[in-house]
Amino acid sequence: MKHFLLSSLFALCASAALAVPVEELVSEQAADSLGVEMPEHGAFQITFQRKDYDEAELISAFWMDRTTGQFLANAVLPGGTVMRLQGLAVLTVPVTVPVRRMMPGEVITEADVQTIDMPHARIGVFALTDHDALVGKQVRRTLTQGRPVMAQSVTEPLVITRGDKVSIQFNDGRLSLSAPGRALDDGFRGAEIRVVNLVSNTLVTGVAMPGGLVEIVR
């Protein structure tokens, strides 16, 4: 009798050790259903229509509508009982968004953004989700607080603005020349822009550099 009780106790302990939260089991199944399409830092937020038990040993059957996130699952409880689960699995990813409305011309700083979890379905194809892809960029189009930032809405910080007076520099290693000019385009560092040479009144193309310099490369 004692041996039987000990065996039963060990069996119960082993079964309890195998049990894990049902949210975790459903999340694993949902991620597996996406396969290679699962985002690197994606995670599922699970909600149930009804949940009578918090833990289970495994999911014996699983189905999910990848468009809506609705799922059905059979969860095996400790002891072998099968429980039917139904609910919603929402795929979320971390996204860096502005903490305030930002206007064109502003440069994005660390204090201007925060990273939040957002439903993957709400994020556009051209959204910049990474923190490092935003900090240091200059705003081209108004950014809305708490909304993903589209790639076309930001640019590298401008070092020259259209209409600026610039210094045109030419240096091929043997000859060095400079002349005053006026920029016809906006330009970030390294961008090609058009400039009018104010001495000869000719149009030239050069590379925008900090300090109002435009380098002519031959």
Task: Write the pLDDT tens digit of every residue in 60-93.
Answer: 999 999 989 999 999 999 888 999 999 999 999 9
Exposure b/e, 40-72, CB count within 10 A at least 16 = b: eebbbebeeeeeeeebbbebeebebeeeebebe
Q: How far apart are CA 24 and CA 58, in angstroms?
A: 10
Cβ within 8 Å of residue 45, ≥6 positions away:
89, 90, 92, 117
* Separation CA 117–CA 130 (nearest Å): 12
Cα–Cα distance measured from residue 97 to residue 105, given in angstroms and rounded to the nearest whole number:
17
Q: What average pLDDT score do residues 30-38 get?
A: 91
R_g over Cα of the chain: 30
Domains of the chain, first to last: 20-155 (3.90.1210.10), 158-216 (2.30.30.760)
Distance CA 13, CA 19 (A): 10
Q: What is the pLDDT of residue 7?
A: 43
Mean pLDDT of 166-194: 91
Predicted confidence band of residue 10 (pLDDT cuts 50, 70, 90)? very low
Residue 202 has pLDDT above 90, yes or no: yes
Q: What is the largest CA-CA distance in the chain?
A: 108
Query: Does 108 score more than 70 pLDDT?
Result: yes
Characterise 69 by phi-psi region: left (phi > 0), alpha (psi -120 to 50), beta (else).
left
Q: Is the pLDDT of residue 8 over 80?
A: no
